């Protein structure tokens, strides 16, 4: 049957060709017969290919130069993915590189999330629709200035402790489970299967961390299992011999890419790169060409010169090198997922801003009308193989004016709402946050001690990251009107003087600990949060602790406290502070509390991006319509305003809820403004 069918098909095809030729005069736009036959053959025989050969990248048999940029889907609300990608297109990029944060997709062990901002497949399909190729960085470690380098926080609750980024069988089993879910989703979107993904990264800058070739080879085997033997796998390491020796994977057919400082001469590093790739398989590629830099709280906002960045990019592209801008668009560390870094030791802690603007050419709010975008675009246009779209206008923004708020509850008054009693944990010693199931945000530690005639000295040798200390009489209002004693911070860790309290009952000691973001880089990455040591009062260990996990879900449902009660509570707290605290030279009104307000948007056309200015506020977290915008800390700076993307707003009433951890703006308002602001804080202090 097969032979007869083939013979018949050949005859039919011959007559079809004769028909096409005979109709040539009537359809002059048809290609010559030889071209028609060749195209028909190609459409049947050829499939999309992306290869490395002769020290070049080859796309469908033609030399290809990657002019790419990092754009992380998890730092942009999904409604804006296409908008930001179109701006990247107008910059001249042909490739998008993105990390895949494990903790976003498995927030609880065995609970998989691939919807909303975690819809990786939709993001990749959107890239494909707009004509981008994709370089995918699935880790399992990603760094990315992202909490815990992308690892799920629940891994820190496993006993015995898992050895991260190693050949530890317990760790590898977790990775196998994760990649077993993730990589099959990626496989259908590989370039060879008609999708956009041309390369998949193995680990991330491993040469800056350790030297465990067995671990890296295991990842390669796992990737090949799910993605096939033809997919280009790559590593990225700093452009030094030491990092390349430790981070590359010789003999595994894995391409070694490099990254380096924008000010470094790229070509000596590309020459070094060749030593770590097989002959003919080392196209010069900077997988992270830095357009800016990250900023920590307490630092001056990082900025890099547009002309300098453009000149160094041209030095790569002009000699047929490839580069990926890090970042093309930074976005925002919404919620609690910002990362942190250390300096000389574990205590030299530096938390990242909520904004991940990164001084990138496409700003946090999508703006492209800036010198860096224009300078980089001018260079890219000279080397782009296709025409570059025109520059789009900035997205419109709206100013909604002053938003008046009122205090609805102190944090201590709201504990019955914020913490389910079944989740309260009791222990002789304080436990880490992860051990009590509190992965992010705040945990309240409570104990008691006997009243003393004189003041005491309180120390917590190891607290991650910031502990506010309060005391109260247990016999009065169940200790719910505590007085603020002071704050112990990870980076300074000073002991506190606790004043004496005239109290017939025991003293309630409450320690509110904030997780400010886990370390994402370096040897101290195993970064548990909370109180990680004994609590010591006058040289003696304090035992008998209750731990209250604080949920910040559905804060809109917090009931308004009667204003008369608020005044009464404030007067009672003030009276307590003045009468009960003896020999306390710095009585303050610092008290964590919730503040609520609303603003109305009259028409759908007025629903646009805005920024919220927290001038006059101290430190806390802001929510709009139950969406966690992230942390604000204008008293430390440099970030003053939080970005509010239009898709989280709505026509009609919009609800703003603020958890202020210290002291609110005295006039109790927040301003809606139309610009970012990075001028807050002293700029002299650095975490």
Residues 612 and 332: their CA atoms lie apart, in Å, by 14
Cα dihedral 309, 313, 318, 323 in deg (nearest 10): 180
The residues near 576 (Cβ < 8 Å, ≥ 6 apart) are 472, 473, 476, 481, 483
Label residue 604 left, alpha or beta by phi (over 0 means left) and psi (-120 to 50 means alpha).
alpha
Question: Helices 81-91 and 371-383 sit at what angle, rounded to 10 degrees?
Answer: 60
Contact 371, 393 (CB under 8 A): no
Secondary structure class of 243 (helix, strand, coil): helix
Catalytic-role residue among 106, 145, 203, 205: 205
Q: Which residues pair with residue 404 across a beta bridge?
A: 669
Residues 95 and 385: their CA atoms lie apart, in Å, by 13
Label residue 158 left, alpha or beta by phi (over 0 means left) and psi (-120 to 50 means alpha).
beta
Is the bond preceding residue 137 a cis peptide, omega within 30 degrees? no
How large is the C-alpha radius of gyration of the chain? 29
Burial of 295 (0-12, 13-18, 19+ CB in 10 A): buried
Closest to 333 in 3D by CA, of 492, 251, 440: 440
Q: What is the DSSP letter of 659?
A: E
The dihedrals phi and psi of 582, each to the nearest 5 degrees, come to -95, 145
Closest to 119 in 3D by CA, of 131, 109, 127, 108: 127
Strands 232-238 and 255-260, sheet pairing: parallel
Contact 332, 73 (CB under 8 A): no
Q: What is the DSSP letter of 184?
A: H
Q: Which residues pair with residue 489 across a beta bridge?
A: 466
Closest to 618 in 3D by CA, of 339, 351, 297: 297
Residues 468 and 24: their CA atoms lie apart, in Å, by 84
Q: What is the DSSP letter of 385?
A: S
Task: Find the DSSP H helices in 275-351.
Answer: 306-317
The token duo for 121 is 């497949």
Active site residue 434: no
Active site residue 303: no
Residues 633 and 338: their CA atoms lie apart, in Å, by 14
Q: What is the DSSP letter of 285?
A: E
Residues 400 and 600: their CA atoms lie apart, in Å, by 8
Catalytic-role residue among 106, 145, 203, 288: 288
**Neighbour tally for 523: CB within 10 Å:** 12
Q: What is the DSSP letter of 239?
A: S
Residues 241 and 259: their CA atoms lie apart, in Å, by 12
Q: So which residues are the catalytic ones?
A: 205, 288
């Amino acid at each position: 049957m097969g032979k007869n069918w083939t013979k018949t098909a050949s005859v039919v095809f011959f007559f079809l060709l004769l028909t096409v030729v005979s109709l040539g005069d009537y359809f002059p736009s048809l290609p010559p017969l030889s071209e028609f036959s060749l195209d028909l053959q190609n459409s049947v025989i050829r499939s999309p290919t992306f290869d490395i050969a002769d020290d070049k990248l080859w796309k469908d048999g033609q030399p290809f130069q990657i002019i790419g940029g990092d754009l992380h889907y998890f730092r942009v609300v999904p409604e804006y993915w296409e908008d930001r990608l179109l701006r990247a297109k107008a910059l001249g990029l042909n490739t998008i590189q993105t990390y895949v944060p494990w903790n976003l997709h498995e927030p609880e062990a065995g609970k998989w999330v691939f919807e909303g901002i975690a819809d990786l497949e939709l993001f990749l399909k959107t890239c494909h629709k707009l004509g981008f190729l994709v370089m995918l960085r699935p880790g399992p470690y990603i760094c990315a200035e992202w909490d815990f380098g992308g690892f799920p926080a629940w891994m820190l609750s496993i006993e015995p402790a898992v050895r991260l980024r190693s050949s530890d069988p317990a760790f590898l089993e977790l990775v196998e489970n994760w990649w077993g879910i993730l990589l099959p989703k990626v496989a259908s979107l590989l370039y060879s299967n008609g999708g956009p993904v041309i390369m998949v990264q193995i680990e991330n800058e491993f040469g800056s961390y350790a030297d465990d070739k067995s671990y890296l080879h295991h990842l390669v085997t796992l990737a090949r299992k799910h993605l096939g033997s033809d997919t280009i796998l790559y590593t990225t390491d700093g452009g030094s011999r030491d990092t390349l020796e430790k981070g590359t994977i010789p003999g595994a057919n894995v391409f070694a890419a490099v990254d380096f400082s924008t000010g470094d001469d790229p070509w000596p590093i590309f020459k070094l790169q060749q030593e770590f790739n097989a002959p003919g398989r080392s196209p010069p590629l900077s997988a992270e060409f830095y357009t800016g830099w990250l900023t920590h709280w307490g630092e001056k906002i990082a900025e890099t010169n547009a002309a300098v960045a453009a000149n160094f990019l041209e030095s790569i592209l002009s000699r047929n090198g490839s580069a990926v801008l890090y970042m093309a668009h930074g976005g925002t560390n919404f919620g609690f997922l910002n990362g942190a870094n250390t300096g000389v030791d574990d205590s030299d802690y530096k938390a990242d801003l909520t904004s991940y603007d990164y001084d990138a050419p496409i700003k946090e709010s999508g703006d492209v009308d800036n010198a860096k975008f224009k300078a980089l675009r001018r260079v890219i246009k000279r080397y782009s193989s296709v025409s570059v779209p025109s520059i789009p206008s900035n997205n419109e923004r709206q100013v909604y004016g002053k938003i008046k708020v009122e205090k609805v509850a102190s944090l201590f008054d709201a504990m019955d709402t914020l913490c389910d009693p079944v989740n309260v944990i009791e222990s002789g010693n304080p436990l880490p946050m992860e051990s009590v199931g509190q992965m992010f945000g705040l945990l309240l530690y409570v104990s008691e001690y006997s009243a003393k005639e004189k003041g005491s000295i309180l120390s917590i040798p190891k607290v991650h990251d910031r502990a506010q200390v309060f005391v109260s009489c247990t016999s009065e209002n169940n200790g719910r009107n505590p007085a603020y004693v002071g704050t112990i911070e990870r980076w300074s860790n000073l002991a506190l003087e606790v004043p004496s309290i005239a109290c017939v009952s025991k003293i309630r000691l409450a320690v509110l600990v904030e997780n400010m973001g886990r370390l994402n880089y370096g040897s101290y990455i195993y970064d548990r949060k909370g109180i990680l040591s004994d609590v010591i009062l006058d040289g003696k260990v304090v035992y008998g602790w209750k731990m209250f996990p604080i949920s910040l879900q559905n804060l809109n449902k917090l009931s308004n406290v009667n204003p008369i009660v608020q005044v009464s509570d404030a007067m009672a707290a003030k009276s307590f502070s003045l009468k009960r605290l003896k020999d306390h030279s710095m009585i303050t009104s610092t008290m964590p509390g919730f503040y609520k307000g609303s603003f109305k948007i009259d028409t759908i056309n007025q629903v646009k991006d805005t920024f919220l200015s927290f001038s006059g506020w101290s430190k806390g977290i802001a929510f709009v319509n139950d969406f966690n915008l992230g942390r604000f800390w204008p008293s430390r700076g440099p970030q003053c305003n939080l970005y509010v993307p239009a898709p989280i707003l709505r026509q009609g009433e919009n609800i703003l809820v603020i958890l202020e951890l210290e002291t609110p703006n005295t006039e109790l308002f927040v301003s809606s403004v139309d610009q970012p602001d990075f001028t807050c804080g002293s700029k002299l202090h650095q975490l």
